[in-house]
Amino acid sequence: MEKIINEIMNEKIGDVIVNPSLSKYTTYKVGGNAKLLVYPKNIDKLITLMEIIEREDIKFFVLGNGSNVLFSDDIYDGIIIKLDCFDTLEFNDNTINVGAGCNLIKVVMESVKHNLTGLEFASGIPGTIGGAIFMNAGAYNSEMKNVVKNVTVLTSNLKVITLTNTEMKFAYRESILQHKKGYICLGATLKLRNGDKELSQEIIKDRKLARKRTQPLEYPSAGSVFRNPEGMFSGKLIEDLNLKGYQVGGAMISHKHANFIVNVGGAKASDIKEIIDYVKEKVYDKYKIKLRVEQRLINWSELSEKDKE
């Protein structure tokens, strides 16, 4: 890896952090170390980095704000890529050209300042544009699918292409990017509607207060753990099993919202994963429903197909 690190530095690809603790880059505040973390300066530098990764057969993971992932406690024997430098934000009437590394909440607030509406649903989602598009993030009966016009992607062949909304194949917490190995979201064009700034600000304010009442924002977490089964709420299923407060090590099912696992202090990733497995087992035993994990489980050597459901 030392040779690769030297090459990356000689190519001036961007800032490099050796042996970073992933607990500093995820909202759960857990996870082992990675071999390397790289912030490519631009698309050309990212392509150069990907050429090195492909040539050396190194695994990689593109990490946004770390708000929807659970890394294991083990060493990630590869390169973490962060696209923080891909932070362009340009307004043109009711469309926005935005880089994958741009903070989603920032984009929401800037769109409101421009009297645009349609993104208010995302005002409490602490991710990046790239991560939100990858997961088709949503809330309040809306989702990224409703505002994305097209997405710029780097393919596994290192070609920059543009995918339309239809080509993105958005579904509930799904996009084509989850099924195209090596595809990296570089940015997107969002199409919003003309709105009223004060009305949008009021909606955002009300929802912020609602989140404070109903979500455990005082603890590190990664948001909703499980996807909602059709016509049901995972949180209600878990709550009805009296699992609020169930704790393993420093991880606990929130007393405020049963579909949140929180780090109440000193949690390990394995504590969180143990709770996830326990909840899936109990919900299936009681309701014969297979809960699907919404969060991405990364670097777990023992992951089975069942975990990926």
Residues designated catalytic: 173, 224, 294
Least Cα distance to 130 among 24, 46, 214, 28 occurs for 46
Helix (H) or strand (E) holding 270: helix 269-287
Q: Three-state SS for 80? A: strand
Main-chain phi, psi angles of 272, to 5 degrees: -65, -45
Distance CA 170, CA 103 (A): 21
Nearest CA to 225 out of 206, 198, 202, 243 is that of 243
β 148-154/14-18 pair status: unpaired
DSSP states of 178-210 as a string? GTSTT-EEEEEEEE-EE--HHHHHHHHHHHHHH
The two counts, helices (H) then strands (E), for the chain are 7, 18
Alpha-helical regions (H) of 39-174: 43-56, 104-113, 129-135
CB 279 within 8 A of CB 265: no
